[in-house]
Structure 1
């Protein structure tokens, strides 16, 4: 049986991202713990993980406005490959821990993240049509989330001791750099899109998309192309519908900070979890990955059937409830000062590693509920502006992530959980409202079309 080229592109994209982010997400998960161990060995090293990650996402947010311009000239494949190379350079920099190198690398990877994620959004949309967008999004999400498994299983077995020494760090980051290089090499194999049915021809393009569509400029004028792409992204951002959706984008950024950096560090610093608490950092990441994969499989790959039966809004409500459960269990299970350093402080209940892993599972599952629906909705609503739409999404997500990493240096666990809970409510309400409006417009459009045909 001959496989469709577009489907092969989606698979290469998915596995390439999985390998690259096996390296990066593992690094992000252990960065706070590892940098503290470096400081204990070398007091001259003053690099702070939360500051580094705040710089990463601040640069990411700023560069998101430039990414559509770059992609409009080079195309999404070149942007993806360029971003991947920046990721590998950042991971490799941990083999030579220097404070200046850490923060400089954080700026570089912010640019790389803007290129790779905006390019990914456009490339995924170009390789999908109205009948495959949800499926392709789900396939990408499930394969991508396997990155959490591989890296964190590796960390779980490597970091068995409470103290992490230099030889362990060198070995871990050498392996992560190698995995990142392999993923980048796989992304080189991405091929040009085989254009069939354009997404939106069957379902219709949103009115906002039609109003903001920019004519295809001549390829001989790359500066004009780049300028139009930037103007298009800025114009799209201030539309009422995108401003409402941005509240959900912001929430996913806050959630990303919490489950990728703060929560894992809190588990590793809680002495009540025993002498193997450092290895629980990796185990927590594994359970987050399990939740992501289950959510992606149910609401991504099978998303069309689920949405037809239950509606997109129901998937978002499930994510809301599961995340709220996670916040309550974490509030009860871990001490308030656990994000900062090793602590003997008591929690509201007897601290349990099982409940901690349940919180990880719920965080991952809820995150998958939100992200699969965001990708599917943007890919359907903004067909002709996919690069701009995903740039706005990643801008909002990364600016929220940068801000939350910045306040994570001083905000206690309970304060962060309160912010997340409030944001969860606001994001769910606004997203469901926009999805309802879009569904109503589509149904009315179909009804008018039927009446015209009659």
Structure 2
């Protein structure tokens, strides 16, 4: 995970150039192939292939997320970007539900996972992922003459020579486009809008690490949950997935016409997370993240409850969907003309903070990790509200110009 997120962070610096030069669909396909290779590696894992695949999938992740953000932006209008972001996030999080449910049902009660068990799972996942890669080519391409055409098309048009011919295939043209995308990403990273959003984006990176890595470990380390403590990690993942799916679907529908704005959804996400953090503080022992393999016998402030633990998993997923759907929406809206560089900056900030959280989670007790999340979450929400004010002002100016 450290290798993946480290390479992921660095690769976001060049991913806009890759997407600009080869286009978003090809970028998604090639990145997906690398993801499939990473999954297939688990069929017969070796040390060298494991670490090599981790490096490659880190590069693929940066290109894939940048290209997906670009496709989401160019296939949405101002009135549909919120809805489409919600639908995208919901579909993405179905993996948490079905993946964990399958593993729980297939491996429940297994003391030892055999080679046959492992191969069956990863062969299935490899085939499914390869099918998904080829489905990328079925995504529609927007009319290049429409107002929502991508910056990729625009950059190609700008390479036309004085006699009207296009020189986009020449090496100087490609280098120019790649350099232009990199420069745009650097400029976007220091704009007022992105600086305001960076705190919120950074918070999603911190809590991504918490719900995907730390919290499941904490549940599995609680000996008071009995012999099924380890299997509860899978159930926790299912509950997180349900929260993500419900959140993405509901908030996508609420944002169909952007009637209520993004601020109420982010505020709901903040409240949801604060409730989850408080319950986790009461329910889970403070040394759970650092407990040895045998687990911890300590209690927090209440008798450890499996129901409360799984409720917190659901709330973590629901709150995460609140933040991510609205961030995808506002970034796609505010940086429509430069969506690939903008989403690269988005994932760069998020992955850097996720890597930081993976580092400190190995050393800090649970209550200190929760305190960091509370402080950064509050600051991130306030900064998002400020960014939304700027976005609304931009939308009013755009509507006035169109009139």
User: Same-fold call, TM > 0.5?
Assistant: yes
Q: Is the 8 A contact 1:313 1:435 kept in 2?
A: yes
Q: Distance in 1 between matches of 2:158 and 2:397?
A: 30
Contact 2:85 2:252 (8 Å CA) reproduced: yes
Please say if 1:389 is aligned against 2:342.
Answer: yes
- Aligned 8 A contact 1:135 1:303 in 2: yes
State whether residues 15 and 344 of structure 2, in contact with CA within 8 Å, keep that contact through their aligned partners in structure 1. yes
**Counterpart secondary structure, 1:274:** helix
**How far did residue 64 of structure 1 move?**
0.7
More displaced 10-residue stretch of structure 1: 340-349 or 438-447: 438-447
Query: Are the aligned partners of 1:159 and 1:278 in contact in 2 as well (CA < 8 Å)?
Result: no
1:324 equivalent to 2:274? Answer: yes
Residue in 1 that maps onto 2:100:
152
Deviation at 1:162, TM superposition (A): 6.9
The farther-off stretch of 152-161 and 112-121 is 152-161
Write out per-residue CA displacement over residues 290-310 of structure 1, whole angstroms, 9 at most, x where no aligned residue.
Answer: 1111111221133135x42x3
| Distance in 1 between residues matched to 2:80 and 2:398, nearest whole Å | 22
- Per the alignment, residue 217 of structure 1 pairs with 159
Partner of 1:185: 134
Matched, 1:132 2:74: no
Instruction: Give structure 1 stretches of 5+ with no counterpart.
Output: 1-52, 201-208
Matched, 1:274 2:216: no
1:333 aligns with 2:294: no
Cα displacement string for residues 303-340 of structure 1 (whole angstroms, at most 9, x for unaligned residues):
135x42x3321111111000111111111111122224
In the alignment, which residue of structure 2 is the partner of 1:292? 244
1:86 aligned to 2:34?
A: yes
Given that 1:54 and 1:401 are in contact with CA atoms closer than 8 Å, whether structure 2 keeps it comes out as no
Structure 1 stretch 352-361 or stretch 122-131: which is displaced more? 122-131
Which residue of 1 is the match for residue 188 of structure 2? Answer: 236
Instruction: Sort the Cα spacing of 1:124 and 1:438 in 2 relative to 1 into closer, same or farther, 3 A.
Output: closer
Quote the residue 1:362 is aligned against: 315
Q: Distance in 2 between the 1:165 and 1:76 partners? A: 39
Three-state SS of the structure 1 residue aligned to 2:231 is helix
Please give the alpha-carbon distance, in whole angstroms, between the structure 1 residues aligned to 2:105 and 2:246.
Answer: 24
- Select between 430-439 and 108-117 the one with higher mean Cα deviation: 430-439
The 1:269–1:178 alpha-carbon spacing in structure 2 relative to 1, beyond 3 Å, is: farther
**How high is the TM-score relative to the length of structure 1?**
0.79
Aligned to 1:37: none
Task: State the partner residue of 2:326.
Answer: 373
SS of alignment partner, residue 347 of structure 1: coil
Tell me the SS of whatever aligns to 1:443: helix
In structure 2, relative to structure 1, the CA distance for the partners of 1:409 and 1:158 (3 Å cut) is farther
Note if contact 2:107-2:113 (Cα within 8 Å) is conserved in structure 1.
no
Q: 1:267 and 1:100 mapped to 2: Cα distance?
A: 31
- Which 4+ runs in 1 deviate beyond 6 A? none
Give the distance between the partners of 1:159 and 1:266, measured in 2 at CA.
20
Distance 1:348 1:143 in 2: 37
The TM-score, its normalising length taken from structure 2, stands at 0.89
1:214 Cα deviation after fit: 11
Q: Give unpaired runs (5+ residues) of structure 2.
A: 161-167
What SS does the aligned partner of 1:339 have? helix
- Residues 303, 446 of structure 1: CA spacing in aligned structure 2 closer, same or farther, 3 A cutoff? closer
Question: Quick check: 1:250–1:397 contact (8 Å CA) kept in 2?
Answer: yes
Q: CA deviation at 1:86?
A: 1.4
Match for 1:173 among 95, 102, 122? 122
Match of residue 45 from structure 1? none
Distance 1:214 1:174, change over 3 A: closer
Q: Does 1:409 align with 2:362?
A: yes
1:356 is displaced (CA, Å) by 0.8
Find out whether 1:433 has 2:386 as its counterpart: yes
- Mapped contact 2:216–2:233 kept (Cα < 8 A): yes
Number of aligned pairs?
385
> 2:80, 2:256 within 8 Å by CA — same for their partners in 1?
no
- Equivalent residues of 2:223, 2:296 under 8 A apart: yes
C-alpha separation between the residues in 2 aligned to 1:88 and 1:75? 20
Aligned residue number for residue 101 of structure 1: 49
Cα distance 1:91–1:370, how it changes in 2: closer, same or farther (>3 A)? same
Is the Cα–Cα contact under 8 Å of residues 38 and 54 in structure 2 kept in the other structure? yes
- Residue 336 of structure 2 aligns to a residue whose secondary structure is coil
